[in-house]
Homo-oligomer: A and B are copies of this chain.
Amino acid sequence: MARFKGQAEYSVDAKGRTAIPAKMRSALSPDALGTFTLTKGFEQCIYVYPMDEWKIKEEEYGNLNTNNRDARHLVRMILMWAEEVSLDGQGRISLPKALSDYAGIGDKVLIIGAMDRIELWNPEHFATYLLEHTDDQETLAEKVMGS
Protein backbone atom coordinates (compact mmCIF):
# COMPACT_ATOMS: atom_id res chain seq x y z
CA MET A 1 0.00 0.00 0.00
CA ALA A 2 1.28 3.38 -0.92
CA ARG A 3 1.84 5.72 2.00
CA PHE A 4 1.59 9.31 0.99
CA LYS A 5 2.50 12.06 3.36
CA GLY A 6 3.60 15.66 3.46
CA GLN A 7 2.23 18.84 1.99
CA ALA A 8 3.27 21.17 -0.80
CA GLU A 9 1.84 24.18 -2.53
CA TYR A 10 2.28 23.90 -6.28
CA SER A 11 1.13 25.96 -9.18
CA VAL A 12 -1.39 24.99 -11.81
CA ASP A 13 -0.37 26.22 -15.24
CA ALA A 14 -2.57 27.77 -17.89
CA LYS A 15 -3.27 24.33 -19.30
CA GLY A 16 -4.63 23.02 -16.05
CA ARG A 17 -1.64 20.87 -15.25
CA THR A 18 -0.02 20.37 -11.89
CA ALA A 19 3.03 18.40 -10.85
CA ILE A 20 2.84 15.57 -8.34
CA PRO A 21 5.63 16.08 -5.80
CA ALA A 22 8.63 13.85 -6.40
CA LYS A 23 8.41 12.48 -2.87
CA MET A 24 4.92 11.21 -3.55
CA ARG A 25 5.80 9.90 -6.99
CA SER A 26 8.54 7.80 -5.48
CA ALA A 27 6.06 6.40 -2.95
CA LEU A 28 3.98 5.02 -5.81
CA SER A 29 3.80 1.33 -6.33
CA PRO A 30 5.12 0.25 -9.74
CA ASP A 31 1.71 -1.41 -10.26
CA ALA A 32 0.16 2.02 -10.51
CA LEU A 33 1.93 2.58 -13.83
CA GLY A 34 1.89 6.32 -13.34
CA THR A 35 -1.87 6.35 -13.61
CA PHE A 36 -4.31 7.87 -11.13
CA THR A 37 -8.03 8.06 -10.69
CA LEU A 38 -9.24 11.43 -9.57
CA THR A 39 -12.56 11.82 -7.89
CA LYS A 40 -14.60 14.14 -5.76
CA GLY A 41 -13.41 14.13 -2.20
CA PHE A 42 -15.17 15.07 0.98
CA GLU A 43 -14.82 18.63 2.24
CA GLN A 44 -14.44 20.13 -1.24
CA CYS A 45 -11.18 18.64 -2.27
CA ILE A 46 -10.08 16.23 -4.97
CA TYR A 47 -9.00 12.71 -4.11
CA VAL A 48 -6.18 11.27 -6.17
CA TYR A 49 -5.84 7.50 -5.99
CA PRO A 50 -3.01 5.61 -7.66
CA MET A 51 -4.46 3.06 -10.00
CA ASP A 52 -3.74 0.09 -7.77
CA GLU A 53 -5.45 1.67 -4.77
CA TRP A 54 -8.41 2.68 -6.88
CA LYS A 55 -8.92 -0.91 -7.96
CA ILE A 56 -9.46 -1.78 -4.32
CA LYS A 57 -12.00 1.00 -3.86
CA GLU A 58 -13.79 -0.02 -7.02
CA GLU A 59 -14.02 -3.51 -5.67
CA GLU A 60 -15.61 -2.20 -2.48
CA TYR A 61 -18.20 -0.21 -4.38
CA GLY A 62 -18.90 -3.18 -6.59
CA ASN A 63 -19.74 -5.24 -3.55
CA LEU A 64 -22.33 -2.83 -2.25
CA ASN A 65 -25.89 -3.99 -2.49
CA THR A 66 -27.43 -2.16 -5.43
CA ASN A 67 -30.90 -2.93 -4.19
CA ASN A 68 -30.27 -0.42 -1.47
CA ARG A 69 -31.25 3.07 -2.53
CA ASP A 70 -28.48 4.78 -0.54
CA ALA A 71 -25.80 2.46 -1.81
CA ARG A 72 -26.95 3.01 -5.36
CA HIS A 73 -26.83 6.74 -4.92
CA LEU A 74 -23.42 6.67 -3.27
CA VAL A 75 -21.92 4.65 -6.09
CA ARG A 76 -23.37 7.03 -8.69
CA MET A 77 -22.05 10.06 -6.90
CA ILE A 78 -18.58 8.68 -6.61
CA LEU A 79 -18.24 7.15 -10.03
CA MET A 80 -19.74 10.00 -12.02
CA TRP A 81 -16.88 12.18 -10.87
CA ALA A 82 -14.14 9.64 -11.33
CA GLU A 83 -11.66 10.35 -14.07
CA GLU A 84 -8.46 8.55 -15.00
CA VAL A 85 -5.31 10.56 -15.72
CA SER A 86 -1.65 9.74 -16.29
CA LEU A 87 1.63 11.41 -15.48
CA ASP A 88 3.27 13.16 -18.40
CA GLY A 89 7.01 13.12 -19.05
CA GLN A 90 7.50 15.85 -16.45
CA GLY A 91 5.61 14.11 -13.65
CA ARG A 92 2.45 16.19 -14.03
CA ILE A 93 -1.21 15.36 -14.33
CA SER A 94 -3.89 17.51 -15.86
CA LEU A 95 -6.90 18.30 -13.72
CA PRO A 96 -10.30 17.60 -15.25
CA LYS A 97 -12.27 20.82 -15.37
CA ALA A 98 -15.33 19.47 -13.57
CA LEU A 99 -13.22 18.50 -10.58
CA SER A 100 -11.11 21.62 -10.34
CA ASP A 101 -14.33 23.63 -10.51
CA TYR A 102 -15.80 21.59 -7.70
CA ALA A 103 -12.73 22.11 -5.55
CA GLY A 104 -12.41 25.75 -6.57
CA ILE A 105 -8.83 25.29 -7.67
CA GLY A 106 -7.30 28.18 -9.60
CA ASP A 107 -3.62 28.66 -10.29
CA LYS A 108 -2.42 27.35 -6.95
CA VAL A 109 -3.06 23.97 -5.41
CA LEU A 110 -2.24 22.53 -2.03
CA ILE A 111 -1.20 18.91 -2.30
CA ILE A 112 -1.54 16.75 0.79
CA GLY A 113 -0.48 13.17 1.29
CA ALA A 114 -3.11 11.19 3.21
CA MET A 115 -2.06 7.53 3.34
CA ASP A 116 -3.50 5.69 0.37
CA ARG A 117 -4.51 8.83 -1.50
CA ILE A 118 -3.36 12.33 -2.32
CA GLU A 119 -5.67 15.27 -1.78
CA LEU A 120 -5.80 18.45 -3.83
CA TRP A 121 -7.14 21.58 -2.19
CA ASN A 122 -7.63 25.19 -2.95
CA PRO A 123 -5.10 26.59 -0.46
CA GLU A 124 -7.57 29.14 0.91
CA HIS A 125 -10.31 26.58 1.32
CA PHE A 126 -7.93 24.46 3.27
CA ALA A 127 -7.04 27.31 5.59
CA THR A 128 -10.74 27.83 6.23
CA TYR A 129 -11.21 24.13 6.79
CA LEU A 130 -8.47 24.20 9.40
CA LEU A 131 -10.10 27.09 11.22
CA GLU A 132 -13.39 25.22 11.31
CA HIS A 133 -11.79 22.10 12.72
CA THR A 134 -9.75 23.21 15.63
CA ASP A 135 -10.20 20.09 17.76
CA ASP A 136 -6.77 19.52 19.08
CA GLN A 137 -4.96 16.38 18.08
CA GLU A 138 -4.93 14.85 21.53
CA THR A 139 -8.70 14.96 21.83
CA LEU A 140 -9.19 13.65 18.33
CA ALA A 141 -6.69 10.88 18.72
CA GLU A 142 -8.39 9.81 21.88
CA LYS A 143 -11.79 9.89 20.19
CA VAL A 144 -10.69 7.97 17.13
CA MET A 145 -7.96 5.67 18.35
CA GLY A 146 -8.53 5.77 22.09
CA SER A 147 -9.70 2.96 24.33
Interfacial residues, chain A to chain B (CB-CB below 8 A): 1, 3-7, 23, 37, 42, 58, 60-62, 64, 66, 68-84, 96, 98, 112-116, 119, 133, 135, 137-138, 140-141, 143-145
Give every chain B residue within 8 A of A82 (Cβ-Cβ): 5-6, 113
B143 near A3: Cβ-Cβ < 8 Å: no
A1 near B98: Cβ-Cβ < 8 Å: no
Give every chain B residue within 8 A of A113 (Cβ-Cβ): 79-80, 82
Give every chain B residue within 8 A of A80 (Cβ-Cβ): 5-7, 112-114
Partner of A74, one of B77, B112, B141: B141
CB closest residue in chain B, given A55: B3
CB closest residue in chain B, given A39: B5
Give every chain B residue within 8 A of A42 (Cβ-Cβ): 69, 72, 137-138
A74 to B5, CA, bound (A): 13
Contact (A145, B6) CB under 8 Å given A75-B114, A112-B79, A113-B79: no
CB closest residue in chain B, given A67: B42
A137 near B64: Cβ-Cβ < 8 Å: no
